[in-house]
Structure 1
Amino acid sequence: MEVARVLCFFSIPYSNNTFPCVLVHWYKQIGSQPDNATGLWMVCPMIREDRSRELSVIHLDSVFRAVHLLPMFGNSDPIHPAVRYDTSLDAFKAYYVNKFADHHSFEILS
């Protein structure tokens, strides 16, 4: 299972062809099996030693499907009021990959 956050869709014209591409930020799997309590796989953003994101440009055909990432909330830390829908994937350190989002997700991730 490979999980990435899409940052940008674009295309590259080259020699009478157009190549549809995606700029992605990679997430790495936490552990070798799903979480015991939830049955969900866990991921965290891949960050390089210099604290920059692990980014790649991949062909659009490499994207299999969208997934729903659920933040792994701390036991005592409330959600900061500044966290919004468009910043939430930068606000948490780890996420569950939601296999219950729909039938296809369940089949793929189970």
Structure 2
Amino acid sequence: FECALVNWFVPVGEAPDPDTGMWVVELERERGVPTLAIIPVDSIARVAHLIGVYGTAALP
């Protein structure tokens, strides 16, 4: 049984970030605990690679 451990994320705000055009997301939490699921690999429609935020200064 091929499966994947998934961390679920939810969007922050109602629109993509105006500077990057990308959605900002955060971990979905239930009672303060991150929401995880084990799902069959064949149910994955699309994957995403998330870019972390490192500091508050703008990059040149």
TM-score norm. by structure 1 comes to 0.43
Which one has the largest radius of gyration? 1
Distance 1:23 1:68 in 2: 15
Q: Which amino acid aligns with 1:28?
A: V
CA shift for structure 1 position 74: 3.2
- Secondary structure in 1 aligned to 2:38? strand
Percent sequence identity over aligned pairs: 33
Which 5+ residue runs of structure 1 have no aligned equivalent?
A: 1-10, 12-19, 77-110
Report what 1:66 is aligned to. Answer: 47
Asked if 1:46 is matched to 2:28, the reply is yes
> Which blocks of at least 5 consecutive residues in structure 2 are unaligned?
none
Aligned length: 57
Deviation per CA, 1:30-79, whole angstroms, max 9, x where unpaired?
12221111101111111221x32201122212212332211123326xxx
The SS at the match of 1:41 is: coil
Higher relative contact order (CA 8 A, sep 6+): 2
- When you count helix as a share of all residues, which structure comes out higher? 1
Q: In proportion to residue count, which structure has more strand? A: 1
How large is the RMSD of aligned CA atoms in angstroms? 1.9
Aligned partner of 2:39: which letter?
A: I
Say whether residues 1:22 and 2:38 are aligned partners.
no
Q: Distance in 2 between matches of 1:46 and 1:71?
A: 16
